Every structure is written in structure tokens, then in C-alpha cells.
Structure 1
């Protein structure tokens, strides 16, 4: 991965300098023997997932978030994931999911990402170890058109739990949506909406169809060169809904670190595994930046905002900052 390539002046893609690469490499861990729960807090493990999992203890994870390679041929820096038959892809999924499940607490929740082609085998394996609660579909506003097919503009996330005893905070993930046709009751009072300096808004319950997600791109500070990077906003929805402050969030395919970064921003503990050293170092740099840059694009004032509503988000952030002042 070449962080020195020429980029546009306004390109904010996060890259590593040689000096940073040396610094962050020292923070990465690799296990060759069993480790305790106490040692597994706010760390990045740079190791093949199958090599690392046997050394991790039972029942230390509160929330599992997995974004594994989809069943497509894809280059991930120095590694290549090759397309497999559906049966072979299921076998690969089961090879690590069967080990991951023992790491979870009895009341843990799990989310696994996939596209439309990998969704059936993912579901098949996922149901072996979890009670499936829902399938989330989220809209990707980017993508190439096709002349003889529908443009692929969505991905799935399967949500499951280990038991009937699990945490879900619906109030933490409500959406603040602009009201285009405000309705009033018989007394002329607003019906389920409110007027602010930025316009009329309604607070709505979250559904399993997410249309407010922006894919990271070159002008966003969270953007990296990872080819399948998930948006911080998407991961924030999952973490806020299915974990509490102080919980441990685990991602065995960490990539450039989004899960760990969002967990830190939302006051959760994190453990991530990433086999590629470059991506793992980028994750560590993003974690450092999160200390002084805790904002999550699209989330402000305790609510998720619709896509392209930046001014409203900024106003909410200012109002929240003012309310927190003594």
C-alpha cells in the first residue's frame, strides 16, 4: 500500500508515514500462548484469525461485529481472498465461527455483514450458533451500474443473540428526520414532530432498512485505502443498540479499524484481529486520532441524522455542547 502516491489537495484519506508505521507496529500484539481476559482490553491483534482464536479465553465478549471477506475474489493489500463455491464458503465461515462463539458471554449479541450473494451461506452458518433476530439491509449510495442487471446498492447484516437474555437499547439509535409534510392534531399542535432553528423534525424508531449511511470517500477524514471499509455511522448504530458503556466489542476481521475506533468513541472497550500489518497500523493511528476527534459523521445530539443533513448535525452538536457547560 503506497501512502506516498499523489493525491488531490482536498483528499483527506488517512495514510501512514514511514515514522508512523514504525511507531504503530510496536503496539500490535501476536499471541503464541493462552491469554487472560484482563489482557484483552483495547488492543489490536495482528495475526491470522485462525492462529489467534485458540489462545483467547472463553466468555469475554459482549458484542461481536464481523465483516468477513464476502464470497468474491478480492485483493486486500498483501492478501487475496478467492471466490469459492457456496458449500466451500460455508465451510470456511464455519471454520472460524465455531471458534468465535465460545468467546461470547451467554447474553452476547452478534452482527455479521454480507452481500446478497454471500447472505444465504452466512445465514446458514449463523443459525447454527445464534438465534436470528433480524436482517438489516442498508443502502450503498455508491456502486457501478449494469446494462443487463439491477445496480447492486445494498448489503445485509444478520443480527443474532446467544440467548433470550440480551441487551437492546432502541432509544439510543433513533433517527432524527426532516418533516416534509407536517401533520397537526385537532388542537393545531404538532403530531410527533418539533420545530427547531433548522426546521421541522421527527424522532423515529429505527427500522431494519437503513438509508442514511454514507460510504467513506476521499473527502471524509475516516476514509482509508481499505477496499471494503465500513462507515463509522453504520457500526455506531450496532454498538449503541447492542452494548453498554464499558462492554467489550470484538471484531475478528478488523480491517482498517472501524469497529475498534467507534467502540472507543462510544466508551466501549475493544479487541480486534487483523492479519495485515498495514491495516492494523492504520487502525492504531485512527484510535489515536479518536482521542481528540470523537465525532461520528451522521451522529449528533444523541440522534442519527439523515444523509446530507450536515448543518442540522452541527447545530445539534453546538446545542449539546452548550447544555454540557457549567
Structure 2
């Protein structure tokens, strides 16, 4: 284990934990039925696992594949490829994902700006592309000869024209800068309870309220491309209902499965790295005692850095921003 600062809350694996948690992982060698894989972590390469998944069994697909960048994943290096080679790799597993989805399923695909150019044409072949979400990453190094890369994309796709979208579940609570009132003197589309005024706003495809996991957050791991729980919670609440099945074929350290458990969904996660699979299992266990999601409180998503405002407006529930 690494030597960390006393206040560092990054999740790690002890050898004894790895031994214990690894026994709960599964791998697939033949076709299975949904009960065999629901709420399980499948530890194997996605291309060997997908052919065995039951067709028409998944309500929501969340995919965060390796971007077309050279990146080290716990000793396994994904190398940047020629754009056409990378596109062929995308199509190879995406064509196997499509049959696993229900007719009314939705799918979200993460990408950076360069990966998006290769990803979009492949998505069009398999799905109806509905939108592109751009979310701000406030971390990252500056560049001397280019603009700092401070955003990523999420492509919103559906299998058909019949799909779930719960707009009220993903409204964002923002401070009111111009608090208008109607003729009767009542707040117009805002809440005047508490010391400050807030308004629930419809979700757009530009997200600036996301915090990247870092050392002081209990969800943080050493996975190099870990997505925030709040980010995944938005996708899940918008495009699935309680009890629905959510599949993540590039699970990493488990964020999608953990958020699904916290939000009352069922999950299937596929990840080839043993340590990341064990981290996912550890996080799933921790979710039993701590179902909180940073930035999501009392059924509402809050702007970044509004902890003090939340406290002044209402007593905190079990789901709160740290």
C-alpha cells in the first residue's frame, strides 16, 4: 500500500481484502440467464463476456471505454491507435452490446473531444443519437501551446423512440440572482425559504456542477479515469427507474455499480482488472452503510460547493454533499 497523508481518504486494497473479495467475482464461459449475473461483478475482458449475456435484458447502458490515448490501467497499458483502428475496436464490442439491450433502453457513452470524432460515426450505426452532454472537468494540467482540455463528452443514445427520461429527477438547484415575484408578491419560480433563494432549473447538456474525485473524497480510488458518482447518478436517474438493470461493460473501480445500488437499481459490471474489480466490491459493501452521493441531497442536485447553503436551507438527510 502507498504511504498517504493522514487526511487522505483514497480507498485501497489490503492483500487480505483482495483474497476475500476476489472470491465473490464471476466470469462467464456460457450463456447465462439474468438472475445469474444481476448485482454481480464479472471479472474478464469485455469481448469474451458479452457473447454470454442474455439478450434484451438491460434497461440502461453506461459506457466509459478507454479513450484513444496511451494510458496505464494498473499496469495494463492501453495505447493510442490509428483512428480507423480505434474505430474498428469500438465497433467490435458495440455491435455485441446492442442485442443485450431492451427495445426501450437508453445508452450513454463517455469520450474526450478527440475520441468523440471516432465514436460518433459508430454510434450512428447502432443507436439513435439524441444529444451530446459536455461536462466540465476542473482538474487537469495547463498547456503551453494549446487550450487546456477541461471538458469531456457524454453521448446520449436510445435504441428506439420509446425510452425513459425522468426530467424532474435531474433538475439542478441553483441560486437565484434575480428573484422576481408575481403580482401577489409570491416568488416566481423560486424558493424563498432559508437564508438564500434557490430555483430548480431544467437540466441542460452543459454541466458545470461536477467535482472530480480527489484525495479527500471517500469515493476516490487510484483508478486513473474514475468518474464521479454524481455524474453517473444524473444519467441513471434520468434514464432508468427503480429496479431497472444497468450495465457497465468497462466498470473500472465500480462507480456505476455503486451508484446503481445507492439508487435502487440492479447492476451488471464487467471489468478485466482484478484489483479494480475488488475495489468495486469493496465500494459496494461500503454503500450498505453510506448511501450518500456527493452533491445530491433530498432528491435534488446542487451546484458545486454549496454545502453551507444546503445546511442553512434544511436538515440534512442521509444523502448529502461532503
- CA drift at 1:192: 1.2
TM-score normalised over the length of structure 2 = 0.96
Between the aligned partners of 1:193 and 1:271, the Cα distance in structure 2 is 39
Corresponding residue to 2:159 among 162, 181, 202? 162
Corresponding residue to 1:288 among 285, 291, 306? 285
- CA drift at 1:37: 1.6
Alignment gaps of 5+ in structure 1? 322-326
For 2:302, the equivalent position in structure 1 comes to 305
Corresponding residue to 2:221 among 195, 219, 224? 224
Query: Contact 1:68–1:253 at 8 Å: present in 2 too?
Result: yes
Matched, 1:76 2:68: no
RMSD: 1.2
Shift of the 133–225 alpha-carbon distance from structure 1 to 2, 3 Å rule, reads same
* Corresponding residue pairs, total: 318
Corresponding residue to 1:265 among 259, 262, 267? 262
Between the aligned partners of 2:252 and 2:288, the Cα distance in structure 1 is 20
Between the aligned partners of 1:103 and 1:285, the Cα distance in structure 2 is 27
Query: Contact 1:175–1:305 at 8 Å: present in 2 too?
Result: yes
Q: Could you say what secondary structure the match of 2:197 adopts?
A: strand
Between the aligned partners of 1:243 and 1:208, the Cα distance in structure 2 is 18
- CA drift at 1:318: 2.7
Corresponding residue to 2:39 among 42, 57, 64? 42
For 1:324, the equivalent position in structure 2 comes to none
For 1:148, the equivalent position in structure 2 comes to 145
For 2:206, the equivalent position in structure 1 comes to 209
Corresponding residue to 1:139 among 136, 141, 164? 136
Between the aligned partners of 2:178 and 2:34, the Cα distance in structure 1 is 53
Between the aligned partners of 1:244 and 1:198, the Cα distance in structure 2 is 34
Alignment gaps of 5+ in structure 2? none
- CA drift at 1:198: 4.2
For 1:111, the equivalent position in structure 2 comes to 108
TM-score normalised over the length of structure 1 = 0.95
